[in-house]
Amino acid sequence: MIDPVAFAQALLRADSVTPARGAVFDVLETALVPQGFAVDRFTVGEAPDGPVENMLAVRGDGPQHLAFAGHVDVVPPGGGWTGSPWSGEIRDGLLYGRGAVDMKGAVAAFVAAASRSDAGTLSLIITGDEEGPATYGTVALMERMASRGVVPDLCLVGEPTSTARLGDMVKIGRRGSVNIWIEVPGRQGHVAYPHLADNPIPRLIAILAEIEGVVLDEGTDWFQPSNIEVTDITVGNPAHNVIPAKASARLSIRFNDRHRGADLIEHIRAIAERHAPGVVVTGKVSGEAFLTEPGAFSTLLSDAIVGATGVTPELSTTGGTSDARFLSKLCPVVEFGLINATMHKVDEAVAVEDLRTLTDIYANVISRALD
């Protein structure tokens, strides 16, 4: 049986700023192979988004297949840490290191939980590119799974979902995310001769004014209202006496399951074209909204949490996106992990006791899901 704390320390001591490769996967493989997992490591992609290393580990041939999905890449630690961000040091009951919460701690807990049982079919879907553009991460893993005929019945994602105490929140869905760029063309000229130029700024202002008044929806039973935010306005004009040749803006939309990303792009394009013929609107969908309706899987997980902590979790769809947005295409997906208060912060840390309790919860889930 694997000690989750010692194993988390080993993962934390492997520098794995996204896109992660090499040593951190060595640590994982060393722990999984003796448990009987068939480990498939592969590297894909080219710069600038790659190369990225991923791992698919599968054990057993039971009728039920539970997958655990996570990532071992981390954001850069930045400066100002009390100790080394790669030390895996324990001080006053807290384990410190970049990725302690997001999410090497949860990966360690699940590997330790898996070492307690050999029931059913169990897999780990681990990427080195969740914190980055996710171009060659979980999507590539899903393609690998499809080529091998690996299809889980249920998937647990170990993102840090807890807020005030371990077990208080489980994610059963996520909002979608789309970024949109608007470029309004004009004609450069001298401000003293406006009839010889074409100022694009008033048209961009009109576009953004209409967008500001858009109400996409009032929310749903499980999702908060969708929102459109202007995240950048750029003219790039260094001179006070020149009418610029173009004006640009960027939007970010977080949307619930009443919408699709492509439809929202077209909605913004229609608004822009009403005010500025010739406008260029481009969009990128980071992920669609998804919902795993409350049912047997969320109940199973909630019961395991209550049994270990006494806390009844809130089922929620709040927060940003995660790789569950991709995995939801395979099977029912829920997310549950550590307290997220220090993720991406200086001196990121997890309580040692929480790490052990999370291992107990995951072990219970494995037992209940695969028995």
User: Per residue in 106-122, pLDDT tens?
Assistant: 999 999 999 999 889 99
Amino acid at 56: L
Q: Which residues contact 160 (CB under 8 A, 6 or more apart)?
A: 101, 102, 103, 106, 337, 338, 339, 340, 343
User: Per residue in 148-199, pLDDT tens?
Assistant: 999 999 999 999 999 999 999 999 999 999 999 999 999 999 999 999 999 9
Q: What is the mean pLDDT of residues 45-55?
A: 93
Cα 108 to Cα 367: distance, rounded to the nearest angstrom: 18
Pick from 348, 325, 345, 343: nearest CA to 335? 325
Angle at 319 between CA 210 and CA 5, to 5 degrees: 160
CB 2 within 8 A of CB 9: no
Pick from 308, 255, 257, 316: nearest CA to 286? 255
Cα 5 to Cα 354: distance, rounded to the nearest angstrom: 10
Q: Which residues pair with 123 in a beta bridge?
A: 58, 67
Query: What does the pLDDT read at residue 320?
Result: 83
Residue 319 has pLDDT above 90, yes or no: no
User: Per residue in 197-213, pLDDT tens?
Assistant: 999 999 999 999 999 99
pLDDT confidence bin for 13, thresholds 50/70/90: very high
CB 136 within 8 A of CB 120: no
Q: Which residues pair with 155 in a beta bridge?
A: 67, 333
Query: What does the pLDDT read at residue 198?
Result: 98
Model-wide pTM > 0.75: yes
Cα 314 to Cα 88: distance, rounded to the nearest angstrom: 31
The residues annotated as belonging to the active site are 73, 130
Query: What does the pLDDT read at residue 144?
Result: 97
CA dist 369 to 63, 67, 110, 346, Å? 11, 10, 14, 37
